[in-house]
Amino acid sequence: MNIQIPINYDPVLSVRETQEAIKYIRDTFQKEIGKELNLSRISAPLFVPRSTGFNDNLNGIERPVSFDIQEMPGERIEVVQSLAKWKRYALKKYGFKAHEGLYTNMNAIRRDELLDNLHSVYVDQWDWEKVITKKERTEETLEETVREIFKVIKHMEHEVWYKYPKAVCHLADDVFFITSQQLEDLYPELSVKDRENAIVREKKCVFIKKIGKPLQRSGKPHDGRAPDYDDWDLNGDLLFWLPSLQCALEISSMGIRVDEDSIVSQCKASHCEGRLILPYHQMVQNKELPYTIGGGIGQSRLCMLLLNKAHVGEVQASIWPQEMIDTCAKYKMILL
């Protein structure tokens, strides 16, 4: 069992109060992020046919939950692992124009996830995607969008403080940008997670850019990224400091999406050229999909951050080993 025990932990809110706070945060945040980024709410699939290539392969080793359908013989249906590719297709299908976008609730099952304070087999996040122009595929566009998201999260701190002043987690006043290579150069002897904790402990909110390519010292990427949705030169992770666990908490993974060139070069670098014949990949190569920026914002993780909870199970109903449930209860972490 991989569980971190917080020191002198006080959840402040009861389970029922926590449930009320969860609803308030979710309802308020999605309205605010929609206005800030000019996003429209749409419905999204829980599962997609494997043959479309729409499902996210994540690091390439996770096994999607799959099943068959009586009316579609020979087709394998997969529960989505994220909607990164589907959203870009939806922007085209629904006729979104430049600087317009969408957001949706994304619910996934990641059965190979290693369970701990921050990780669950159930993933719930706001997936969002926005049309940009070819000229806007720049780091400036990426950083501007990160600041807009940070602005909404910071605003949520004040909203939660007004309703739950004793429970709110006080956040940084700004976001600090650093590339994954700069971070490795800064802490060459530390592991990836220790590097993240070191920089986020100091800065309180950090966006780590350029995740996916091998780093110069270790020869390994900072973290795994599928080669066929984010452009590895124009993406990153947004992390906040979580006082309850004294560690960095990733709230969002996002980026400018691959274009007709980077999808080919990244698939080749990842030795998965076979994907390039799938319908989605063909649409990108043939310039049939809009250029976009997008990502996911963890719903339970945002609640966890704003309420300074010590286990994601305190703000999310999922499946946990009984030993973890019992241990957490001893230390005031009541898993839903």
Catalytic residues: 56, 110, 125, 237, 250, 253
Q: Which among 163, 235, 238 is positioned nearest to 205, based on CA atoms? A: 238
**Long-range Cβ pairs for the range 284-290 (8 Å, 24+):** 284/228, 284/258, 284/259, 284/260, 285/260, 286/260, 287/260, 288/92, 289/88, 289/89, 289/91, 289/92, 290/88, 290/91, 290/92, 290/96, 290/98, 290/131, 290/132
Contact 328, 116 (CB under 8 A): no
Q: Which among 299, 312, 208, 336 is positioned nearest to 25, based on CA atoms? A: 299
Contact 256, 235 (CB under 8 A): yes
Give the separation between CA 241 and CA 3, rounded to whole angstroms: 18
Q: Identify any residues that bridge with 128 across adjacent strands, giving them in sequence order.
A: 103, 295
